[in-house]
Structure 1
Amino acid sequence: MKQEYIEKIYSGWLAKIIGIRYGAPIEGWSYEKIRNLFGDRLPDYPAAYKNFAADDDSNGPWFFLRALEDSGEATPQAVAQALLNYAPYEHGFFWWGGYGVSTEHTAYLNLRNGIPAPQSGSMAQNGSTMAEQIGGQIFSDTWGLVNPGHPERAARMARAAASVTHDGDGLNGAAFVAASISAAFEERDIRKVMETGLSFVEPDSRYEEALRAVMAFYDSHEKEGEAWRECFQYVKAHYGYDKYPGVCHIIPNAAVMALAMLYGGGDFDRTLEICNLCGWDTDCNVGNVACILGVALGLSAIGRKWRQPVGDLLISSSVLGYYNIQDIPGSAAYIARLAYALDGEEIPEGWREALSGERRFHFEFPGSTHAMRLRAESGNGPGDAGNGRHFYLENTEETAASGSRSLKFVAAPMEPGEVLYLYHQTYYRPEDFTDSRYDPAFSPILYPGQVVEGWVYLPEYGRPAQVSLYGKDIRNGKIYEGERISLGLGEWKRLRFQIPGGTDALLGEAGFCFRMEGRALERFEFVGMVDDLSFSGQADYRLDCGREQTEVWPGGHTEISQFTRLKGDAWLEQGRLHLSCADFGELYTGGCDWRDYRAEYVFTPICGNFHGVNLRVQGGTRSCGAALLEGGRFGLVRSRPDGSGYDLLAETAFPWKWGRPVTVTVEAAGNALRAWARTGETGEGEETAELVSPHGAGPYSNGCVGVSVRQGSHLALDGIRIWPAGDGIKPPKHHQSFQNAAPNPENIHKTTEI
């Protein structure tokens, strides 16, 4: 793969997210309604968001692509497993409009009920109306991005993936989008890109007919200025919504995409504007078109007016809260890694570290900021952060700790004694968003016990300062701060800080802390650069359910703080987190990058005969763990990839009872999986059990934690304690008291409170 394609992957994915955000506020609007409100032009975002919440147009492409990593291939069966694994059951992720109404909902329930892919999305199963809605097209961008310069392979993978939920012209749209994006890596002429995309569409299909008709109209009519409006009237008359059944058919929207790419004339801004002004499924259409042009034209075509509001942030609404907080350069790096793997090539030396699988903010993509943020405090209270200050972030080639780029920041005016924070937000709450698009929920991406590392530089034309790394507990505002150093000018310095372990801190931000130096009455501009910020290591963490909250989102949907829900009913009551179900229910929390660790769960089985604890959770169908089972048994379990339940790996007698608290400890180290269960206190009334899996942990080498119930069961969770696995460490002999419990003194590091 050509090295320059790495940057084009980023530019295409960034453009996709920009297009979604640009079209989302007017999704479903008519051409007339848009013109009535905005007039003839819409050169910028039509709405401002605090942060842009999740969208199905990015959820689908991002998580279906993970089939390549999880299963090693992009077959209908592999993508079907990804859908079952990453999509919550009938909430979030995409539109759950009902069986026989929403194409994706219909296919999902088909899969859940044993109808395999690709039959799950076929016309034979669902009819042509369901099969030919827009989803096959809007979820296919990443198959083009992961196959740069290989349009045939991109189209083949896109068709296979789309067949899980779609058929007919739904597959033609998938092939067109993916092949066009793939071709755009090597061709800037948009008409030629479109012709390549069409070469992978079935001849004489309605999809080809519609796009060819738009191209013929363009060739035979005026092209300049507002001439596109006449073409839209042609599209509306011949290929409008009234001509096709269903909620959102693919053909009218594909015709609008073709119109916009032709009349946009290879100009990024104008193409997106025309596409949005046409109306209909605006976020889908503009997202697809933007991705094609973002690859073809590159980053230089995407202006600051588009990039700054996005801020490199990608919010998702999968079943895994850790993955729901992403930055666009990080997800582009993931796509690039897969692209090199598909080609059977090594990542070039200059990119190897930047494209690693860690949470790493490398700033090597021009203009990238990795969703970093600035704030300042003067000590005058929580409202002092603004105070007429100017904050500015800029990707720069001025200097770098590694590679060729770093992140430059400017804050002005600053005064001696003030503190400047440059940070990445590691957890989000409802108040961080304007709306609740596709119902996101989150788990933190950084935990006590983990390590923050980064490089920092103060230029010779700037001012010296004391600098440190830090993490902030957003429950109480407490700052955990590493060693402060006095940083001189003109020298890169590497910092490393392990967040204190054994606590229940909810870390909502982490990064660099700068303490201003100087003399009273001085006011100045403060400038610096940072590079290669990363979060890594195993958590040493205590989650106390008595401290969690019910988070209420705009629009009314609720979540339990730090948890995501696959299915079931979850609520907080008297300091416990309850989970119950009719058929099955699961909740997850923690870091998906956790590997070798031990997790202790304290809970009470209320009713039913399956009360499980999960670890190395990689989604709704990928985890292992332990469970209290019917007949006074305790077992080690591993989930089935089709989502139908769990396989029993080992079991033993264990006389658990409803209403009696249980402590279950599970450890995964390498491929070894073992568990202990205990009821009562040490001594009288105590019952214990221990199990070792003869099959190990199976294919799951990393993942978060969770709890699960089946067959009408109900449990009440007090809390979870996570710490690194270690040979010779015995499970605690007493129940952990989660409410107001003190952390283990051996796990407390030196901290500084601000």
Structure 2
Amino acid sequence: MRLTWVQPEDLLPHELAASADEGRDVSAVARRWAAAGGSVLPPVSGASAEPAGPELRALAAELLDECDALPPAGSAAEPTELAAIRASWPTEYGLPTGAPEPDRVHGGWLGRAVGCLLGKPVEKIPRQGIREILTATGRWPLAGYFTGVGLPAEVAARWPWNRRSAPTSLAENIDGMPEDDDLNFALLALRVLETYGREFSSAEVAQAWLDWLPGGRVFTAERVAYRNLLLGLTPPETALRHNPFREWIGAQIRTDVYGWVHPGRPDLAAELAHRDAIVSHVRGGVHGALWVAAMTSAAVVTSDVDSVLDAGESVLPPQSRFAATVREARALGAEAATGSTDWESVLDTLYARHGHLHWVHVRNNAALVAAALAYGRGDLVRSICAVVSGGWDTDSTGATVGSVTGALTGAAGLPAEWTGPLRGRLRSSIAGFDGVEFAALAERTGRLARTQVSGTAQVPGTAAGPVPDRGAAVGAES
């Protein structure tokens, strides 16, 4: 068995790419690795075809240490520290701050599931493969859940479904929302809030992972951070050791709930997202987490997608690459929404800009999300179909776009042909959540939002059982 996302020989090529993207000179490391027979091409799916021999694996670990010891990357324009990020935040957001309508929170949960479910079977399939599958079945442009019915064998062989997802996420098989990390992390955020309250620390997020999140259900930066926790590291060091995925999408998929429970307060939502994100990410990876939390904070109290996008951009370091990426993508999507260009042209531009990045990187996927939200103008179906047809990390981008547009619309306004197959429930590998109903999640989330608005403190442990001993939490407060 080949473990993904943790083998040194697989991590090193990703580290070379990450360091180069950050502007660090790793050419000497790359030459040593190539001279020893190692591949400098990062494996697409997290593991190379064959394990390295002991000598090559030991060299990979040594070279990863060398990369970790290089001078820190980035600049003042791309901070990870909250104080530096917060320095540019506005003092007022102009958003309603009352308790959100329960239907809006319910819509956020349902929309997140619908968008995730749409993207699940084509995760890892490139844009051209998605189009070929849909064209071959007479379903282009995308307008419904994927199906294998009528798909020619040669097309199926050329573009195989995600083998973990297809059995439960194709239209003919859907029976409730299947388990997915994009929903698991939302559930875990809810449990962290119910257990530790809003003043939770990064160390308590890490403890929550160890207590409730199976190690086999985390990937990329989260799997590396999980391993680092088991090695005895504490946040934020868990994001730094042998972690070439530090600016990938993982933290961006974890923070919707922090927005829903801080209606109209992107700043408070982003602060919680930051504490969560630094367990596994830095710089752009953290910025993506703040961006989504701020957008979902706005989405439950406004009906205007531009206000949502404004809220997201307001918490970003203004000169960062992440901020520039989403601003440009938003403008492209807005132009397409007017009919002056089309969505495929938008995708062409985004691929020209970001096609060199791995399909799980944060910037390319955030660009797709921003463009799809601006293009879809708040319509869930138009928005999720646009973003999923764009490829890259389809279930994650579909989930984020669905979360925002579902909250903008509210559960009652979502099309039954999309929400009906969910059967009102979801599966999860997090203990205590398997089979939970979306309505119950919305009620629990709404309760937390109301305590925020009323100024009353959440009593830790009241909704999720006894509070674990804080002295047993991993490390000190971050």
Whole-Å separation in 2 of the counterparts to 1:302 and 1:33:
28
Whole-Å separation in 1 of the counterparts to 2:242 and 2:454:
38
The corresponding residue for 1:30 is 126
Distance 1:314 1:50, change over 3 A: closer
Structure 1 residues 372-397: Cα deviation after superposition (integer angstroms, max 9, x where no partner): xxxxxxxxxxxxxxxxxxxxxxxxxx
1:155 counterpart (270, 276, 280)? 270
Deviation at 1:7, TM superposition (A): 2.2
Where in structure 2 are the equivalents of 1:541-620 lying within 5 Å?
A: none
2:450 counterpart (333, 340, 344)? 340
1:259 counterpart (355, 360, 371)? 371
- Asked if the contact 2:127–2:389 (Cα under 8 Å) also holds between the matched residues in 1, the reply is yes
Kindly indicate whether residue 287 of structure 2 is the aligned counterpart of residue 191 of structure 1.
Answer: no
Deviation at 1:186, TM superposition (A): 2.8
2:228 counterpart (110, 113, 118)? 110
One-letter amino acid matched to 1:54: E
1:45 counterpart (145, 150, 155)? 145
- Asked if the contact 1:261–1:289 (Cα under 8 Å) also holds between the matched residues in 2, the reply is yes
One-letter amino acid matched to 1:113: L
For 1:43, what is the secondary structure of its paired residue? Answer: coil
The corresponding residue for 1:81 is 207
Which TM-score applies when normalising by structure 2? 0.67
- Asked if the contact 1:64–1:83 (Cα under 8 Å) also holds between the matched residues in 2, the reply is no
Where in structure 2 are the equivalents of 1:39-188 lying within 5 Å?
A: 39=135, 40-46=140-146, 47-48=170-171, 49-72=174-197, 73-88=199-214, 90-91=215-216, 93-95=217-219, 102-122=220-240, 125-126=241-242, 129-188=244-303
Structure 1 residues 426-474: Cα deviation after superposition (integer angstroms, max 9, x where no partner): xxxxxxxxxxxxxxxxxxxxxxxxxxxxxxxxxxxxxxxxxxxxxxxxx
- Asked if the contact 1:42–1:277 (Cα under 8 Å) also holds between the matched residues in 2, the reply is yes
Kindly indicate whether residue 390 of structure 2 is the aligned counterpart of residue 278 of structure 1.
Answer: yes
The corresponding residue for 1:548 is none
The corresponding residue for 2:4 is none
The corresponding residue for 1:543 is none
Deviation at 1:51, TM superposition (A): 3.8
Kindly indicate whether residue 421 of structure 2 is the aligned counterpart of residue 309 of structure 1.
Answer: yes
Judging by fraction of residues, say which structure has more helix.
Answer: 2
Higher CA-based Rg:
1
One-letter amino acid matched to 1:84: L
Deviation at 1:306, TM superposition (A): 1.1
- Asked if the contact 1:268–1:301 (Cα under 8 Å) also holds between the matched residues in 2, the reply is no
- Asked if the contact 1:16–1:290 (Cα under 8 Å) also holds between the matched residues in 2, the reply is yes
Kindly indicate whether residue 407 of structure 2 is the aligned counterpart of residue 295 of structure 1.
Answer: yes
- Asked if the contact 1:67–1:81 (Cα under 8 Å) also holds between the matched residues in 2, the reply is no
Structure 1 alignment gaps of length 5 or more: 96-101, 348-356, 359-591, 594-615, 624-637, 644-754
Whole-Å separation in 2 of the counterparts to 1:238 and 1:253:
12
The corresponding residue for 1:453 is none
Deviation at 1:639, TM superposition (A): 10
Q: Percent identity?
A: 30
The corresponding residue for 2:320 is 205
Kindly indicate whether residue 115 of structure 2 is the aligned counterpart of residue 5 of structure 1.
Answer: no
Deviation at 1:82, TM superposition (A): 1.1
Whole-Å separation in 1 of the counterparts to 2:452 and 2:338:
41
Distance 1:183 1:309, change over 3 A: same
For 1:325, what is the secondary structure of its paired residue? Answer: coil
- Asked if the contact 1:54–1:316 (Cα under 8 Å) also holds between the matched residues in 2, the reply is yes
One-letter amino acid matched to 1:116: T
Distance 1:139 1:340, change over 3 A: same
Once superposed, which parts of structure 1, at least 4 consecutive aligned residues long, lie more than 4 Å away? 218-222, 344-347
Whole-Å separation in 2 of the counterparts to 1:221 and 1:43:
18
Structure 1 residues 65-102: Cα deviation after superposition (integer angstroms, max 9, x where no partner): 322222222321221111111112x32x333xxxxxx2
One-letter amino acid matched to 1:15: G
Judging by fraction of residues, say which structure has more strand.
Answer: 1
One-letter amino acid matched to 1:37: I
Whole-Å separation in 2 of the counterparts to 1:167 and 1:289:
23
One-letter amino acid matched to 2:200: A
Higher mean displacement: 45-54 or 1-10: 1-10
For 1:165, what is the secondary structure of its paired residue? Answer: coil
Deviation at 1:57, TM superposition (A): 0.1
Report the count of equivalent residues: 346
Whole-Å separation in 2 of the counterparts to 1:247 and 1:281:
6
Structure 1 residues 291-311: Cα deviation after superposition (integer angstroms, max 9, x where no partner): 111112223431101111001
For 2:436, what is the secondary structure of its paired residue? Answer: strand
Structure 1 residues 648-701: Cα deviation after superposition (integer angstroms, max 9, x where no partner): xxxxxxxxxxxxxxxxxxxxxxxxxxxxxxxxxxxxxxxxxxxxxxxxxxxxxx
The corresponding residue for 2:437 is 327
Where in structure 2 are the equivalents of 1:654-669 lying within 5 Å?
A: none
Deviation at 1:218, TM superposition (A): 4.3
Structure 1 residues 561-595: Cα deviation after superposition (integer angstroms, max 9, x where no partner): xxxxxxxxxxxxxxxxxxxxxxxxxxxxxxx86xx
Whole-Å separation in 1 of the counterparts to 2:286 and 2:102:
27
Deviation at 1:256, TM superposition (A): 0.7
Distance 1:51 1:2, change over 3 A: same
One-letter amino acid matched to 2:426: L
Distance 1:229 1:104, change over 3 A: same
- Asked if the contact 2:104–2:411 (Cα under 8 Å) also holds between the matched residues in 1, the reply is yes
Whole-Å separation in 1 of the counterparts to 2:360 and 2:448:
32
